[in-house]
Copies of this chain bind each other. A is one copy, B any other.
Amino acid sequence: MKKLLIATSALVALTGAASAEVALTGDGRMGLVWDGENAQFSSRARVKFNLSGETDSGLSFGGSFRVDQENYNNEIDEGGNSNESNRSAARGTAGSVYISGTFGKLSMGDVVSAAEAAIGDLTELGYTSGEFAANPEEIDFLTGDGENEEQGPTALYEYTFNGVNLFASMTDGSRRDCGAGNVTYGTLGCYEFDEDDDTDVAFSLAAGYEFGAYNVALAYSENGDGREIVIGGTAAINEFKIKGFYADYDDRDLGQLGDFEFDFDDNADTFEVDYDRAYGLSVEYAMANGVGIQGLWIRREVEILEAFADGAEDAYDAYGIGASYDLGAGATLAGAIIKNEIFADNETRADVGIKFQF
């Protein structure tokens, strides 16, 4: 009898939690990275909190962030800029929250831009998902994804009907001043009244259309003086999944490309460049036995602004190939070889290892 009571209360607890709950997921990986000169061990473990609920009238709400996205006591660079480590879900600069219903879905926090929500990135290669080669699969969207953090949280709106997907994202246009005692963009205590007016709203608009196994999307974004137009498409043909994009930038000054600081070979100095355009293609091939093969190519074109270069153009390619094998239950063997011309030593890198989903 006692056991039955326990069973009932346990189920009640579970069903109660189903209406507004916190669920855990996680991931991990371990393996070897060839950095062009040495083999390196590389591993990690992460956990994600998934919050979800539903109001009495049927609106869904929730949010999510990873443990490593909660760094409450984060800091600002000496130059006064935020960097990718400066993130805290409790301050709105990492993770996100949302509410959704028949009106669509509204998210806020460290969300992607409308352009990225519509188009996404190319295929990730290797057990480190491209990280071993500075993530060449990531398209350098002009807003979101760390580009507007000094304005605090970004808002993203999504609406879908008849295969049409509409997206709009924006920041609030108010730059925040965070001195020594109040160092985090995103906290409420660091408004900069005097300089706020100089800052423009950064925004992005995008639309996509799905027809059968095909998908195309177009996006336009502004961030300060910078402009961005991106077009992307996906096709799923039998075991193949093909993805391509073309991005045109206007007035986009650039200090870095990808995750690495932009640098010319054998030259320690960084030149001033304009980021003109980027385009690329990825192909995934998935066999029924769990084996997959992936390929990637991306090109970034810049214009050198230094006087001696006389506006010369330069291009940086990254290309690679990867293979994976699904072990089941969230475990996958994967490896890849990537040449990313962005590296100062122009080396070819590789990784091989196992990655887990929990």
Contacts and interface: CB of A to CB of B under 8 A. Distances in A.
Interface of A: 3, 6-7, 10-11, 13-15, 18-22, 24-26, 28-30, 32-33, 35-47, 49, 51-57, 59, 61-75, 77-78, 83, 85-92, 95-99, 106, 108-109, 128, 131-132, 134, 152-155, 171-174, 180-181, 183, 188-189, 191, 193, 196, 259-261, 327-331, 345, 354, 356-358
Given A61-B354, A73-B86, A331-B55, A49 B37 contact: no
A41 B152 contact: yes
A49 B24 contact: yes
A329 B39 contact: no
Nearest to A31: B108
A51 B41 CA distance: 20
Nearest to A47: B49
A13 B51 CA distance: 16
Given A57-B328, A71-B72, A97-B29, A172 B40 contact: yes
Given A36-B193, A45-B95, A71-B73, 17 more contacts: A6-B18, A30-B98, A30-B153, A32-B172, A33-B188, A37-B193, A41-B92, A43-B96, A43-B97, A45-B64, A46-B90, A53-B356, A55-B331, A56-B329, A61-B331, A63-B356, A181-B261
Contacts of A54: 329
Given A10-B15, A33-B188, A188-B33, A155 B41 contact: yes
Given A47-B22, A90-B45, A327 B172 contact: no
Contact of A181 (B37, B83, B109): B83
A225 to B, nearest CB: 21
Given A55-B329, A67-B67, A89-B68, A354 B41 contact: no
A26 B49 contact: yes
A49 B45 CA distance: 10
A83 B75 CA distance: 13
A358 B21 contact: yes
Contacts of A13: 14
A87 B68 CA distance: 11
Given A71-B71, A172-B39, A44 B330 contact: no
A329 B43 contact: no
Contacts of A73: 71, 73-75, 85-87
Contact of A25 (B22, B47, B96): B22
Contacts of A74: 73
Given A42-B152, A53-B358, A57-B327, A188 B108 contact: no
A97 B331 contact: no
B85 A72 contact: yes
12 contacts: A26-B49, A28-B97, A30-B108, A38-B172, A38-B173, A40-B174, A41-B155, A42-B153, A42-B188, A43-B97, A67-B89, A99-B331
Contacts of A77: 180-181
Nearest to A46: B90
A358 B52 contact: yes
Contact of A45 (B24, B96, B134, B174): B96
Q: Which A-B residue pairs are the 6 nearest by beta carbons?
A: A56-B328, A68-B90, A43-B108, A73-B85, A45-B63, A22-B24
Contacts of A153: 30, 41-43
Contact of A44 (B14, B91, B356): B91
A293 to B, nearest CB: 20
